[in-house]
Amino acid sequence: MTPMHFTFTSAFILSLLGLTIHRTSLLSALLCLEGMMLTLYIALTLWSVENSSSAYLMSPLILLAFSACEACTGLSLLIATTRTHGNNHLQNLNLLQC
Amino acid sequence: MIYFVMLMLMCFIIGLVGVASNPSPYFAAFGLVMSAAIGCGLLASHGTSFLSFVLFLIYLGGMLVVFVYSAALTAEPYPESWLDWPVLVNVMMYLLGVGVGVYYFFGEWNMMHWMGVDELNNFSLWRGDLSGTSLMYSDGIMLLFLAGWVLLLTLFVVLELIRGLGRGALRVV
């Protein structure tokens, strides 16, 4: 366990805990997802760097493209929720079903 | 240099604690910006300057601008910062958890983890990450086409999700 591995493991677990436990607003959940994708990007890069296998360095770029798609879909869901419900608090999605 | 990298690792965790401890989205976006910038520094310290540059451009230039714009769109009158009481409890709890993890793993801490991608680092224009990522255009061409197809599909998904004339965001509520 190097400090680098400890940092990325704990950062990923922290973002996952923030996504699962605290769910006040939808935008906070999306920001926790983005933190997870940022951690995965850096972890993939450092994995292939520390194994000296530079042929796998294209995998973070593909991951970044997919995380851009995920961020776009999440933000459009946020905009749709704000349009129909007035705010983006996750408790209101159960209260005001329409 | 290793002390500077340890400082960057610590600030990376603190930035993600600031995201995960459920403040208002303005402050959470600030924490994510801090973590992304420090992640760029970490990647550059390992020699992968091109991937660090891509991370800087895509995250700080593209996605986080959109996130800050959406945070401004869904504004709240009294935002909670990290100094308010329930958020402060979460921050303390997460920092305590990380501290317990550091204490548990501190005996087998391996400080010799430094690996760069520079095989020929004297005035070299050809770093390892450049040669690695350029494989995306030859061997990984199908992955490149798949990523392009997924981006196009996401465009249609987003257009379908926010379609609608009678329920726009700018109507008078």
Q: At what angle do helices A59-85 and B64-73 cross, to 10 degrees?
A: 10
Of A14, A61, A68, the CB nearest to B17: A14
Closest C-alpha among A40, A15, A82 to residue B28: A15
Tokens of B51: 């991937």
Q: What is the ipTM of this complex?
A: 0.87
The answer to whether residue A42 is domain-embedded is yes
pLDDT of residue B75: 67
B1 Cα to chain A: minimum distance (Å):
14
What CA dihedral angle connects B121, B60, B12 and A72, to 10 degrees?
A: -120
Strand ranges for chain B from DSSP E: none
pLDDT of residue B172: 43
Of A7, A27, A61, the CB nearest to B136: A61
The answer to whether residue A78 is domain-embedded is yes
Choose, out of B4, B7, B16, B59, the residue to mutate when testing the contact with A (most A CBs < 10 Å): B16
For B10, name the nearest residue in chain A, comparing CA atoms only: A7
Is the pLDDT at A13 greater than 90? The verdict is yes
pLDDT of residue B114: 60
- What does the alpha-carbon distance between residue A87 and residue A82 come to, in Å, rounded to a whole number? 5
**DSSP structure class, residue A51:** T
List of chain A residues whose C-beta atoms are within 8 Å of the C-beta of residue B131: 54
pLDDT of residue B120: 46
Count structural domains, chain A: 1
Tokens of B13: 């965790």
CATH of the domain at A48: 1.10.287.3510
Length of chain A in terms of residues written: 98
- What does the alpha-carbon distance between residue A32 and residue B32 come to, in Å, rounded to a whole number? 9
pLDDT in tens, A18-76: 888 877 788 888 889 999 999 999 999 988 887 777 788 889 999 999 998 998 898 88
Q: Cβ contact (<8 Å) for A14 and B98?
A: yes
The answer to whether residue A94 is domain-embedded is no
The answer to whether residue A17 is domain-embedded is yes
Q: Cβ contact (<8 Å) for B51 and A45?
A: yes
Q: Cβ contact (<8 Å) for A3 and B9?
A: yes
Q: At what angle do helices B141-161 and A59-85 cross, to 10 degrees?
A: 0
Of A2, A84, A87, the CB nearest to B110: A2
Could you list the residue range(s) of the whole structural domain that residue A21 is in? 1-84
Closest C-alpha among B66, B46, B11 to residue B127: B46
- Bridge partners (DSSP) listed for residue A89: A25
Tens digit of pLDDT per residue, chain B (173 long)?
A: 778 888 999 999 999 998 888 788 888 888 888 999 999 998 888 888 888 999 988 888 877 777 777 777 666 777 778 888 888 888 899 999 999 988 888 777 766 656 555 554 555 566 777 778 888 888 889 999 999 999 999 999 888 887 765 555 544 44
| Whether the model pTM is above 0.95 | no
Which H/E stretch holds residue B92? helix B85-105
- The angle at the Cα of A9, spanning B111 to A3, to the nearest 5 degrees, equals 10
* Residue A89, SS3 per DSSP: strand
Domain-wise residue ranges, chain B? 1-116, 132-166
Choose, out of B57, B161, B167, B170, the residue to mutate when testing the contact with A (most A CBs < 10 Å): B161
List of chain A residues whose C-beta atoms are within 8 Å of the C-beta of residue B173: 86
What's the distance, Cα to Cα, between the start and end of chain B in Å? Answer: 56
For A79, name the nearest residue in chain B, comparing CA atoms only: B162
For B143, name the nearest residue in chain A, comparing CA atoms only: A62
